[in-house]
Structure 1
Amino acid sequence: MFQGEGMEQSSQNWFSSVETPIKVTGRDAVSWDESRDLVVVGFGGAGVATALQSLDNGLSVIALDKFAGGGATIINGAVVYAGGGTSVQKEADIADTADNMFNYLKQEAEDIVSDETLRDFCDTSPEMIDWLQDKGVKFGSTVWHKKTSYPGPEYFVYHSDNSLATSYKKHATPAARGHRGYVPIEEGRKATNLGYSIFNPLKQSALDKGLQLETYHEVRQLVVDDNQEIIGVMALYFDNEKLLKKYQKLKQRAERLLMILPPILPGYNFFAKRAMAVLEKAKALEAQRSQKMIEAKKGVMLSAGGFIYNADMLNHYAPKYNASLPLGTEGDDGSGIRLGQSVGGITDNMDCISAWRFINPPLSFGRGFIVNKHGNRFIDELVYGATLGVEMVENHEGKAWLILDKNLVKAALEEVSGGKALNFQRDLARLNVWFAAVKSPTIEGLAKKLSLPAEALKVQLETYNQAARAQNGSDVYEKSDDDLVEITGPFYGIDISLDAKLFPCPALTLGGLKINEATGQVLDENGKVVKGLYASGRNAIGVSSKNYVSGLSVADCIFSGRRAAQHISGH
């Protein structure tokens, strides 16, 4: 085994265990422990898509994951964003075209990727769903037609974006594009940890085709030759089975603690802290791992997720979001991005975060109005939750309050009762009405209790009510007339700020390594490819790297992973 002399990166802002690359004269200078055509670093949605497409193309593949595999894909709500006339959309009688999908997504992606890449994403979207189904992923076709953060368990296709918002409908006809992987109805009530319905069939298909999967293998260094080509990796692993089982047991215990409550519910942080204490015990065992050198004959794929679980990196790149609740897994520590940077890869959009401030359901929450700390309204309250969250943090100092009246509060509680909403949606609404809401018979009194400017809040109320009464499309933020209702006393105010105690705001990172969009190859500061190195999913800049909507990250993982696999395979 070649013993590299890698040292930690010297930058004080590195915040990672990733080390400088191992430099060798050539492949023959290393005594490799394993050798495959492709080495995949990080086995989540992007990793499994890359591996499976590469195996289909005849390559030998080894996938390494720091933990058990699955990443953020396996813990999410099992949503894939797809359109353009997928087989599922057709079965559900949803009219959509690739051009219509492009016109919508252009509003979200803006210029983060080229129009050519975005069109390719939309044009190939129906084929992506067919490919997933061919690999064993099942989708339902019952449709939820209204606005919601996540539909009831009986519904498997929904508007997981802003397509129903008036301002977006100007550019594209609404079409439900959130495709939920099929799970039993009762299981679906959880809304989280359902991504196995997408990930597990892909994983099994890859294993059936000969994938060598090595879990609990942490890649610390890339191996680079004299031609500046990436030819392999150095990974740390437990070669003592007893020690590995002890490590896994601690990890599983921490995972159980993290699954007790959904991340957006108060109380989650209590269990999260207990989980972190268990993880520290596991981390102490990592010093007893051994090295393994693995050759990549055709390329290395970096697909190890974002960096939302690396508090130091988050504070360095996006300190505005420090008070957010990390949305992802412990593996989202930025190591894949740092590996790319260690050999000259450059990053982009590292300060771009998706913060999820969902207030609907209950729909009646969305029929109130939201103000910033100056008492001014700033958005259509029924836009997609991440659109609201990012606007709140980026332009309003992360501070916002939801203004309701007695009728809306009563209606909201009714809308989440009797199984009409998922448990986490019901509990979040009740907690905030019962324990967080501030009440006053007058708008001036409410302003005083919330420490908001009374005159400004009064003006917003009058303006909002005027648009509600007029019912002529006159709302300044283009909220639909159907969702505008006149608000009268008594008044309620709920703190929905980034740091609201009873209204946690989950967040994930969207920035990553810059890549050649046609091939997935990592780029250096001169815009040239780093030979032998690829990136996909949240390790790379992609379709979802500007604005997030539900299912778009998973879809981008599959799209970018398969795209890179085609180039690696020479297809």
Structure 2
Amino acid sequence: MANLASTEFLSDVEPPLVVFDPSKVHWDDTADVVIVGFGGAGAAAAIQARELGADVIALDRFNGGGATAYSGGVTYAGATRYQKEAGYEDSADNMYRYLSQEGAPVSPETLRRFCEGSNGDLEWLEAQGVPFNGKAYPEKTTYPPEGFFLYFSGNEKVPSYKKNAAPAPRGHRAVGPGFTGAVHFHALRNAALSKGTRLIPHSPVRRLVTAQDGTVIGVEISQVPESARPQHDALYSGVTPMKPFAGAKQEEAIKRCAIFEREHSERKLVSARGGVILSAGGFVFNLEMVRKHRPVYAKVFRSIMRLGSMGCDGSGIDLGRSAGGATALMDNFYIGRSIAPPVGFVRGVMVDQDGNRFLNEDAYNGFLGKAIGDLPGDGKAWLILDRKAFFASLKQCLFPGKGMYLYTLPSLLNILFGGTRFAFRLNGLAKRCKLQPLSLQRSIQANNQAAASGVDPFGKSPDNIRALTQGPYFAINMDLSNKFTISMLFSLGGLTVNEQTGNVTRPDGTAIRGLYAAGRSAVGLCSTAYMSGMSIADTVFSGRRAAQDAARQKSPVKDKAIA
């Protein structure tokens, strides 16, 4: 056996162990398919591989769940019976025409295959026990309120998109109270285990095991003993993604957990006859990796909510790189900036640090966040409202209606504590916000002209264009560094894969035998343009794809007897 030369890793990953004769290696365990990371993608892969008759071991750094268990539990799908129940007509072709406008890092053929299979994937999820419902919420929202489980989760209703694809709600939220990612995951977990998947928890994978020709034949884990697992779980709970203002404490928990794992672990080897599937999430909780690819997000990490689990540390991506895998779109992130509800905010004008309008305010929240994050000056922006729009927004925040307080509270906190400015004239507002007065005047004048004509150059829906003419004028602070904006972040880039099989590919496009990637460890359907529900939909699409190919590859490995 030999170790490959070291490369640059920003996670706790080592170069592969090269095995000259697999039959002379003591394997502590073996399976047809070995899955690294038991979240949404890993669980989907495990179920699919078991349905094809493969023996499956799923490894997880903690106890499973990953980012999926913390998520909203939304699956993006078209031509479903739930849409029909709600009175909406949709088709795979209509869905394809919409998603084609959003842009995807996959081929048109792969995107069409996803659209044509999305209803089947949803029904497959339902067969595993994930509950869905057709109660639709028709208004613009980041997430449907309690009692609603189908909604417009992207830009479907934006006029420029409506020209080429009829709007249809495709965000299918798993049924349950609050964020229902845990409902989605636990249904898959139970299905995977009941079908015979062997879950080995508290076992971070430190390196791959390869044959001399580079084929991946197994992994080496660093297993935490059972007696130390309660402490390990307690450290894991130190990262709760939906808790605002917790960035510094999360970093401390991450450091303590890394030290704990180094002091309390035992190395073991697990072989894979068919393949290893990397489904260990993205890297939003690896601050050094974020800093390398998007420095501005690392700079403001204390002011944003990073979505994921402590396991989203980039180790899955680094494991793939260690075997020669290429990465792409590593500087792409979902950064969500929700301004609706209240609806009145959508009718304002968003301007940059100079006072120039730069986006369509009723676009999907991920587009808003990305546009702000791409601005010079580390993402500085203001939302301009006149008296009527401001007080209408404030009223909606204070009296949002049943089940909506969770969604209006962030905007209310931002109004009260985020540094809101006001002045009776635009020139005075520009001075208080350090904007260029002429630029701000032009931005508001252009908006008022769009309100009169009903045509907005940025593509805002006519229903949401309002003239801003009544002083005093207000500016809501939308800076990335403003902790009261409650920005949400996770990574989208990852390992490149063969779109037919899910195999990790090298920079020259050739596939690495025995190695697959799925979910946020890989470049996927939503790695260039994200909208709610696409990440979970991609975990199912990519997880099942990788499992189908890996299960077919289960050539026998002559393992030494397992003690």
For normalisation by structure 1, the TM-score amounts to 0.92
- 2:524 is the alignment partner of 1:529: no
1:97 pairs with one of 84, 87, 91: 91
Where do 1:190-339 residues align within 5 Å?
192=179, 194-239=180-225, 241-252=226-237, 254-255=238-239, 258=240, 262-263=242-243, 268-269=244-245, 271-286=246-261, 287-322=263-298, 323-324=300-301, 325=304, 326-339=306-319
Amino acid at match of 2:347: R
Local SS of the residue matching 2:459: coil
Q: Does 1:50 align with 2:45?
A: yes
The CA distance in 1 between the partners of 2:341 and 2:164, in whole Å, is 26
Tell me if the contact between 2:32 and 2:273 (Cα under 8 Å) persists in the aligned partners: yes
1:378 CA drift (Å): 1.3
Are 2:283 and 2:312, in contact at CA under 8 Å, matched by a contact in 1? yes
How far the C-alpha of 1:424 sits from its partner, in A, is 3.3
Query: What is the CA–CA distance in structure 2 between the aligned matches of 1:23 and 1:103, rounded to whole Å?
Result: 46
The residue matched to 2:374 in structure 1 has which SS?
helix
Report if aligned partners of 1:345, 1:513 keep a CA contact under 8 Å in 2: yes
Q: In structure 2, which of residues 6, 23, 26 is the aligned counterpart of residue 31 of structure 1? A: 26
Q: Distance in 2 between matches of 1:518 and 1:423?
A: 44
Q: Percent identity?
A: 40
Number of aligned pairs? 544
CA distance in 2, matches of 1:68, 1:422: 33
Q: Which moved more, 1:472-481 or 1:378-387?
A: 472-481
Letter of the structure 2 residue corresponding to residue 459 of structure 1? R
SS in 2 for 1:553: helix
Tell me if 1:165 matches 2:148. no
The equivalent of 1:504 in structure 2 is: 486
The whole-number CA distance in structure 2 between the counterparts of 1:313 and 1:413 is 39
1:442 matched residue in structure 2:
425
Q: Give the CA deviation at 1:426.
A: 2.2
Letter in 2 for 1:50: A
Secondary structure of the corresponding residue to residue 124 of structure 1: helix
AA at the equivalent of 1:489: G
Distance 1:43 1:509, change over 3 A: same
Which of 410, 422, 436 is 2:391 aligned to?
Answer: 410
- State the Cα distance separating 1:282 from its structure 2 match: 3.6
1:361 match: 341
Deviation digits for residues 390-448 of structure 1, max 9, x if unmatched?
Answer: 12222454221100122112211222325356333222121122223111111111000
Residues 62 and 203 in structure 2, CA contact (< 8 A), matched pair in contact too:
yes
In structure 2, give the amino acid aligned to 1:138: P
Letter of the 2:28 counterpart:
D
Once the two structures are superposed, what CA deviation does each residue of 1:339-367 show, in whole Å capped at 9, x if it has no partner? 00001011111111111111011111011
SS of alignment partner, residue 547 of structure 1: coil
> In the alignment, does 2:102 pair up with 1:127?
no
Q: For residue 40 of structure 1, what is the amino acid of its counterpart? A: I
- Worse-matched range after superposition: 322-331 or 150-159: 322-331
Could you tell me how far 1:328 is from its partner in structure 2? 1.4
Q: Following the alignment from structure 2 to structure 1, what is the Cα–Cα distance between the partners of residues 220 and 516?
A: 17
Give the 3 Å change call, closer, same or farther, for CA 29–525 of structure 1 in structure 2. Answer: farther
* Post-superposition offset of 1:58: 0.4
Shift of 1:330: 1.2
Mapping 1:390-401, distance limit 5 Å: 390-397=370-377, 398-401=379-382
CA shift, 1:137, in A, is: 0.7
Contact 2:32–2:551 (CA under 8 A) maintained in structure 1: no
SS in 1 for 2:31: strand
Residues 522-545 of structure 1 show CA distances to partners (whole Å, capped at 9, x for unaligned) of: 111221110100001111111111
Aligned counterparts of 1:418 and 1:478: Cα–Cα separation in 2: 27
Cα distance between partner residues in 2 of 1:100 and 1:154: 27
1:88 to partner: Cα distance = 1.6
Distance in 1, Cα, partners of 2:297 & 2:248: 19
Partner of 1:343: 323
Encode CA deviations 1:196-252: one digit per residue, 9 max, x unaligned: 11111111011011110011110001000123211000000123x322223223434
Q: Partner letter of residue 12 of structure 2?
A: S
Quote the RMSD (CA, aligned, Å). Answer: 1.7
Cα 1:280–1:540 shift into 2, 3 Å: closer
What's the TM-score, normalizing by structure 2?
A: 0.93
Q: Report the residue type matching 1:451 in the other structure.
A: K
AA in 2 matched with 1:201: A
Residue type matched to 1:66 in 2?
R
Q: Give CA-to-partner distance per residue, 1:139-173, whole Å, 9 cap, x none.
A: 12111112111121111100000111112112211
The change in CA–CA distance for 1:466 and 1:86 in structure 2 (over 3 A counts) is same
Unpaired segments ≥5 residues, structure 2: 554-563
Which residue number corresponds to residue 415 of structure 2?
A: 433
Counterpart of 1:307, as a letter, is F
Deviation at 1:41, TM superposition (A): 0.2
Which amino acid is 2:538 matched to?
D
Which 10-residue stretch deviates more, 424-433 or 292-301? 424-433
Q: What is the distance in 1 between the residues matched to 2:383 and 2:400?
A: 24
What is the CA–CA distance in structure 1 between the aligned matches of 2:136 and 2:370, rounded to whole Å? 28
1:486 aligns with 2:467: yes
Q: 1:319 to 1:403 in 2, by over 3 A?
A: same
Q: CA deviation at 1:315?
A: 1.1
